[in-house]
Amino acid sequence: MQIPLLRLQCGVNSYDWGKVGQESAAARYAATTAAPDFKVEDDKPYAELWMGTHPSLPSKDVETQRSLLDLVQDNQALLSTEISERYGSRLPFLFKVLSVRKALSIQAHPNKKLAEQLHARDPRNYPDDNHKPEMTIAVTPFEGLCGFRPLAEITHFLQAIQPLRTLVGSQAAGDFEQAVKGNEDSEDSSVIQKNKDALRSLFTILMESAPEKVETACKELVALAKDSPDSFGTLPGEVETNPSNPGELAEIIGRLDQQFPNDIGSFVFFFLNFVKLEPGEAMFLKADDIHAYVSGDIIECMASSDNVVRAGFTPKFKDVDTLTKMLTYSYAPIEDQKLRPTDYPYTILNATAYSSASDVVKTDLKRTGAKATFDPIEGPSVIICTRGNGTITVGSKTEEVREGYVFFVGATAECIIQNTGSGEGEDDVFTTFKAFCELDGKEDLTNGN
């Protein structure tokens, strides 16, 4: 039997929102294992590196040039019997690197039932019938929008940002304020549902705003941010109630309008948490939860799907009606949106696990010769190096590892990685991210249970 360690050649998608040329981590990583004719172009945006078996852009074995999808279909032992029985002949997850230069769509991913309905109704815009819960881990400093803000913050902006209040209308704004007043932090389930209903009503009114009204409101919003950056979003005499730094808020609104002039997304910003992640920090995006990416390089791990319901910050197909109806309208502070890492139980030495429907382990080996051994697990893994130099060993097979190298490790295989850096200086760190899936206690990535 072939030793289950394959170095992968991974494709990169070029979308307008991607970082340009060598600034894109996705492009640099792709170049290390790309086809011989691939060259990073200095003026071309590179957005997503895909690692997995998704048929839209399946990875290939560098040595044989066979697709990983073909290889695991021909040899089910690479996935394990249990994984194959539940998910079929493919990886149950899709691993990505995203390099975000400009805002990446106000969006949500449908749950399994809705994904099936959307795919049957509109396969062109919803290309498969699977849902797409996903995890995001920052590789560089990252900005994004994730989930609805606490209700008190939304109320604050309705009162402090006049173009926002004008756009939704004083009646709708007042109805929302009255509905949630005094109950913003209630834990009573009936009150929470009432709050969600009020948020749904107001947000739907915003998203259904006429384009000409959005254009007028955006011009007023940008002018307000430009003319009064030190007090932008602040109520007179109540600076301490501002949930954001005024100058930072004004800068972001100006930046977003430059990227997408007169876009409804500039107002959606005041409804969503603005999340900043440092390298290694993470957040989890459940199905039917609203989010957007603003800037930075990230690792993503998700169910093997490409379904997105978009409604702003994008030239692509927008489906406002589906988005406003599908959202959970859960609201919470920024810290509740972040994913808390834990120690990874199946290895030793500097390994941090991020657990959701599938798992990702980040390993930092901080000195030359440092080694980490991953015990065998019942599912397959994909490993990418984002920093440094090292080796990876499975059985009697050892491969060199450099930044951007990607490997597939089959089920039930012990895997050893080792730092082989120069040993010069404190910056000689060997960093890898490993995506994998085990069945015990995990959400079913196929049926959404």
Give one DSSP letter per residue of 304-344, joined into a string: S----EEEES-SS---HHHHHHH----B--HHHHEEPPEE-
In-domain check, residue 420 = yes
Say which CATH number the domain at 398 has.
Answer: 2.60.120.10
pTM: 0.88
Query: Which amino acid, one-letter code, is at 18?
Result: G
Q: Which of 157, 206, 160, 198 is nearest to 181 (CA)?
A: 198
Give me the sheet containing 371-374, strands edge to edge: 371-374, 415-419, 389-394, 397-402
In-domain check, residue 250 = no
In-domain check, residue 100 = no
- Give the per-residue pLDDT at 124: 81
In-domain check, residue 380 = yes
> Which residues partner with 276 through β-bridges?
143
Domain of 363? 342-436
In-domain check, residue 50 = no
Contacts of 189 (CB under 8 A, 6+ apart): none
In-domain check, residue 410 = yes
**Is 310 annotated as catalytic?**
yes
**Residue 430 contacts residue 390 (beta carbons within 8 Å):** yes
- Give the per-residue pLDDT at 390: 96
**Catalytic residue (choose from 101, 310, 367, 387):** 310
Q: What is the 3-state secondary structure (H, E, C) of 393-411?
A: EECCEEEEEECCCEEEECC
Q: Which of 98, 50, 13 is nearest to 291 (CA)?
A: 98
SS3 286: coil
**Residue 33 contacts residue 406 (beta carbons within 8 Å):** yes
DSSP-assigned letters across all residues of 366-380: -STT-EEEEPP-SS-
Q: How many residues does the structure list for the chain? A: 449
Beta pairing class for 104-108 and 309-312: antiparallel
| Total number of domains in the chain | 1
In-domain check, residue 418 = yes
In-domain check, residue 376 = yes
Number of neighbouring beta carbons within 10 Å of residue 154: 26
Q: What is the pLDDT along the chain (449 residues), one digit of tens a residue?
A: 467 999 999 999 999 999 999 999 999 999 997 777 889 999 999 999 999 998 888 999 999 999 999 999 999 889 988 888 887 778 888 999 999 999 989 988 887 788 888 878 888 877 766 656 678 899 999 999 999 999 999 999 999 999 999 999 999 999 999 999 999 999 999 999 999 999 999 999 999 999 999 999 999 999 999 999 999 999 887 655 567 789 999 999 999 999 999 999 999 999 999 999 999 889 888 777 899 999 999 999 887 666 788 898 988 889 999 999 999 999 999 888 787 777 655 444 455 656 554 688 999 898 889 899 999 988 899 999 999 999 999 999 999 999 999 999 999 999 999 999 876 656 689 999 999 877 654 444 333 33
